[in-house]
Amino acid sequence: MAAPDLRAELDSLLLQLLGDLEELEGKRAVLNTRVEEGWLSLAKARYAMGAKSVGPLQYASHMEPQVCLHTSEAQEGLQKFKVVRAGVHTPEEVGPGEAALRRRKGPAKTPEPQSSEAPQDPLNWFGILVPHSLRQAQASFRDGLQLAADIASLQNRIDWGRNQIRGLQKKLKQLEPGAA
Amino acid sequence: MRMSPEAAGRTAHARSGVRRTGSRTAEAGLRWLLVLWRDLCLAAGMAGRGKLIAVIGDEDTVTGFLLGGIGELNKNRHPNFLVVEKDTTINEIEDTFRQFLHRDDIGIILINQYIAEMVRHALDAHQHSIPAVLEIPSKEHPYDAAKDSILRRARGMFTAEDLR
């Protein structure tokens, strides 16, 4: 590869790296804000429920993850992360035929297939009626998880870009030892 | 050519030996195939299920992210979180961090930055893209970009010679 082409590629990689760093800084600031909001909400929940009511003592003895990560390889050595939520419940849809009258006597006798694969909501560890602040804390940390996956993808891209730049710089030094 | 009875007997015995050896080889091959098939199914199951997010942090950080739904704890597998308290030793933190690094079902490790400072040498030595390590602030210690391993590496890319 000729030196001018290498320089052009190096410039574009550098620009991409600087753009990624700026994006990373922005997402980090948002993540830090979400986490701080989550702590504040947890403190409010603790104030409402009691000092020892929100902590490791309430953790379940059996936990199934509600959130998983899916990884994909965009380019060679470049991993991308995506957060996937398990057991998302879709609201029951009422068709046009059922809209007129619905029985209110209770659940149907024919057992519907249970979504046993759906993991238990961690809010249930803290009781049946939890304060609104605990739900807010959960929402803040869930947003934080989405941001964490984006930040991890950006970090990988920055590392990958850094390695590509170093490789190109070495090639350039070999082609133009005097200029280097 | 007619074979003597003894020769016929020896031949039959030799043939049955070959059959026994052959059947043992086939059995071993079949067992290997079954093990390979089981491992492939397990890997496919894990790939279908996705990777986990691990967290090493103080009580509030871990509780918050567990509320978000990342926790895994059952009888067979180790938990994917560690609550660091006042009496948690640096060795415990480092051991847990290294365990998370070596697990192939963890994609991201979230760690409070003040805890990451205690095991900075282990973080700096980790060069792989998976699992990704993310430093997050804690209540008493706000996030400092100057201490982040990833940003320090990016900042240290350029020397005076490179910019000449």
CATH (domain of A151): 1.10.287.3240
Dmax of chain A from CA atoms? 88
Whether A28 and B145 lie within 8 Å, measured CB to CB: yes
Q: Chain A: nearest CA to B117, how far in angstroms?
A: 18
Q: Is B145 on the interface with A (CB under 8 A)?
A: yes
Quick one: closest CA in B to A134, which residue? B67
Is B94 a residue whose pLDDT tops 90? yes
Closest CB from B53, B63, B137 relative to A69: B53
> Can you give the pLDDT at residue A90?
47
Provide the residue range defining the domain that includes A41.
1-54+66-87+128-172
Among candidates B83, B145, B162 on the partner chain, residue whose Cβ is nearest the Cβ of A169: B162
Per-run averaged pLDDT (10 residues), chain A, 180 residues? 84 93 94 95 94 90 90 79 74 52 54 55 90 95 95 92 90 74
Q: In what order do the strands lie in the sheet with B52-57?
A: B81-83, B52-57, B106-112, B132-136
In chain A, the residue whose alpha carbon lies closest to the alpha carbon of B48 is A70
Identify which of A31, A54, A67 has the shortest CB distance to residue B68: A67
CA angle A107, A113, A116 (to 5 degrees): 110
Alpha-carbon distance of B157 to A38, in angstroms, equals 35
In a domain, A105, yes or no: no
pLDDT value of residue A20: 93
The rounded distance, in Å, linking the Cα atoms of B77 and B120 is 27
Average pLDDT over residues B119-138: 91
The tally of domains found in chain A comes to 1
The answer, yes or no, to whether residue B25 has pLDDT greater than 90, is: no
What pLDDT score was predicted for residue B19?
56
B49-57 mean pLDDT: 91
Q: Does residue A109 sit within a domain?
A: no
- B21 to each of B27, B97, B145, how far by Cα in Å? 10, 49, 66
Q: In angstroms, what separates the C-alpha of A39 from chain B's closest C-alpha? A: 7
In-domain check, residue A101: no
Mean pLDDT of B114-122: 93
Predicted interface score ipTM higher than 0.85? no
- How far does Cα A84 stand from its chain's mean position? 8
Residue B28 pLDDT more than 90? no
Q: Which of A10, A39, A130, A140 to mutate to test the interface with B (most CBs of B within 10 A)?
A: A39
Q: Which of A129-138, B3-12, B25-34 has the lowest mean pLDDT?
A: B3-12
In a domain, A38, yes or no: yes
Tell me what pLDDT residue B8 has: 64
Are A36 and B137 an interchain contact pair (Cβ–Cβ within 8 Å)? yes
The pLDDT value recorded for residue B2 is 64
CA distance A167 to B47: 32
Answer yes or no: are the C-beta atoms of A1 and A170 closer than 8 Å: no
Would A92 be classed as within a structural domain?
Answer: no
Is pLDDT at B33 greater than 90 in this prediction?
no
Tell me what the pLDDT averaged over chain B comes to: 81
CA–CA dist A65, A119 (Å, integer): 7
pLDDT confidence of residue B68 = 95
What pLDDT does residue A13 have?
92
Domain-located, residue A30: yes
Smallest CA–CA distance from A85 into chain B, residue: B69
Measured between CA atoms, how close is A106 to chain B, in angstroms?
Answer: 31
Distance from CA of A93 to the nearest CA of B (A): 26
Of A17, A138, A169, the CB nearest to B67: A138
Strand partners, A79: A73
Note whether residue A77 is domain-resident.
yes
| pLDDT of the residue at A172 | 87
**Do the Cβ atoms of A35 and B74 come within 8 Å?**
no
Identify the closest residue of chain B to A125 by CA–CA distance: B67
Q: What is the pTM of this model?
A: 0.75
From CA B52, how far away is CA A65, in angstroms rounded? Answer: 8
Predicted pLDDT of residue A132 = 95
**Cα distances (Å, whole numbers) of residue A11 to A7, A16, A38, A56:** 6, 9, 41, 50
What pLDDT sits at residue B4?
73
Determine, yes or no, domain membership for A44.
yes
Q: Check residue B22 and give its pLDDT.
A: 64
